[in-house]
Structure formats: structure tokens, C-alpha cells
Chains A and B, each alone.
Chain A
Amino acid sequence: DGGITQSPKYLFRKEGQNVTLSCEQNLNHDAMYWYRQDPGQGLRLIYYSQIVNDFQKGDIAEGYSVSREKKESFPLTVTSAQKNPTAFYLCASSTSYGITEAFFGQGTRLTVV
């Protein structure tokens, strides 16, 4: 079945450590996105990529990094520079053109301990 897979579902990290969240899609979508969701808030865009080997900062990119070496994969690294990393992270993808919605993964809950 086509879709987006995020792993792991739950992730615990010690302060000062970097951690990488995985996002893979088999929808053949060009565009991929990372969002952060905090309680009582909507989705805030961290990074997005419209094509392989290219990505752009979103509204809250500080303390995060991404790569887009393959069309199917868009991993997000939460670095130790991110001051408040505990949150729910959602990955999404869409076709670059045409009338389409964003398709979402099931999310990763990151907790810093």
C-alpha cells in the first residue's frame, strides 16, 4: 500500500544528544515536509523539500537539520541546539503540482529526558 512511514513512533533522547527521525514515502511525491505540533497549537513548518538535493527552511528551522538524498526519504535531525525539542513531529508529502492535499505519516513523539 502507498503511504508515508515515520519511525520510530516514540523516541526518547537525553539532553545534549542529536537524534534523527525517519520519514519514508512510496507515493512518488516530489515534495516533502516536516511539521512540529505542540499542545494547543497548530502545525508549524520546520523544513520542506520540493525536489531531491534541495530543501528550504520553514518557520522554525533553528536547531533542526534535514537531508534529501533520495526522493523517497526526508530524515529530520533534532540537534542539541534545539532548546525545546519535546514535541510531536509530523512528516508529510505532496505532488509538486496540481490539485492535491498533503499526505501525512503517523508522527513521532520525541521526549527529552
Chain B
Amino acid sequence: AQTVTQSQPEMSVQEAETVTLSCTYDTSESNYYLFWYKQPPSRQMILVIRQEAYKQQNATENRFSVNFQKAAKSFSLKISDSQLGDTAMYFCAFMKQQNYGQNFVFGPGTRLSVLP
């Protein structure tokens, strides 16, 4: 079974600084997808960024980028120019296509606080 680990339960960063959230996963699959979701205090889950495992190029979405190391099974999220609105829980997620649908597995989350 796949597992997702986020080793940092809580982190904080000063506004405008850069922060990196860690995520590792365990799988024997070669083709899969990885995601970072944000859950602000409203508790709405919002997709931040996604990465296809077959792509070597790291995904980027504005201030958010990932460092995907397939051999190391690592998928970290970098937030540049942190803003107060980035304060949230961040969940790393793994998804693989199965014969009968998809399987999403989520990590335990990292609570990020952006300080003014």
C-alpha cells in the first residue's frame, strides 16, 4: 500500500520569505501523480499544484513550485514571497490510476503560519 509522510507538523515563515514543505512517499508504482492541497481556516480543500511522475520537469504555479525527486520518492513544495493568505494546512497527496478508478492517499499535513 502507498503511504505519504510529511515530517513537519508545523512550520512558520515571515511574510515575503521563502519556505519549503517536505513530503515523501512510498510506492512500487512507476506511473502516478502527486499533489499539494491547501486547507485554509475555512477548511475548503484547494489544489495548489500537481506533478505527473513521468515528467522530469518540476511543476510551477506562480509563487508555488515543487522539487520532485522520483528516485528518492520526495516531493517538496516551495512557497516564495510568502503571503498572509498562505497560512493554512498543506497536504501532500499521491494518486495512481487503478484498473477500476483512482486511489488518492493523503499525508498527515503541515500547518503553515505566515507571520507579519
A11 within 8 A of B: no
A101–B47 CB distance below 8 A: yes
Residue of A nearest to B50 (CB): A101
Q: Within the complex, which residue of A31, A92, A106 is in contact with B43, where a contact is CB–CB below 8 Å?
A: A106
Q: Within the complex, which residue of B47, B100, B107 is in contact with A50, where a contact is CB–CB below 8 Å?
A: B100
Distance of A25 from chain B, by nearest CB (Å): 14
**Which residues on the A side are within 8 Å of B44 (C-beta)?**
104, 106-107
Distance of B36 from chain A, by nearest CB (Å): 10
**Which residues on the B side are within 8 Å of A2 (C-beta)?**
none
B107–A104 CB distance below 8 A: no
Q: Within the complex, which residue of B35, B52, B109 is in contact with A42, where a contact is CB–CB below 8 Å?
A: B109
B91 within 8 A of A: yes
**Which residues on the A side are within 8 Å of B107 (C-beta)?**
42
Interface size on B, residues (CB 8 A): 23
Interface size on A, residues (CB 8 A): 25
B115 within 8 A of A: no
Q: Within the complex, which residue of A31, A42, A96, A100 is in contact with B106, where a contact is CB–CB below 8 Å?
A: A42
B45–A42 CB distance below 8 A: no
B100–A97 CB distance below 8 A: no
B33–A31 CB distance below 8 A: no
**Which residues on the A side are within 8 Å of B35 (C-beta)?**
101-102
Give the complex CA separation of A30 and B100 in angstroms: 11
**Which residues on the A side are within 8 Å of B102 (C-beta)?**
31, 50, 94, 96-97, 100
B101–A40 CB distance below 8 A: no
Give the complex CA separation of A31 and B91 in angstroms: 21
A90 within 8 A of B: yes
CB-CB under 8 A for A31 and B108, given A88-B43, A101-B47: no
Q: Within the complex, which residue of A30, A41, A90, A94 is in contact with B45, where a contact is CB–CB below 8 Å?
A: A90
B108–A33 CB distance below 8 A: no
CB-CB under 8 A for A48 and B33, given A42-B91, A43-B91, A88-B43: no
Give the complex CA separation of A48 and B100 in angstroms: 11
Interface positions of A (Cβ within 8 A of B): 30-31, 33, 35, 40-43, 45, 48, 50-51, 88, 90, 92, 94, 96-97, 99-102, 104, 106-107
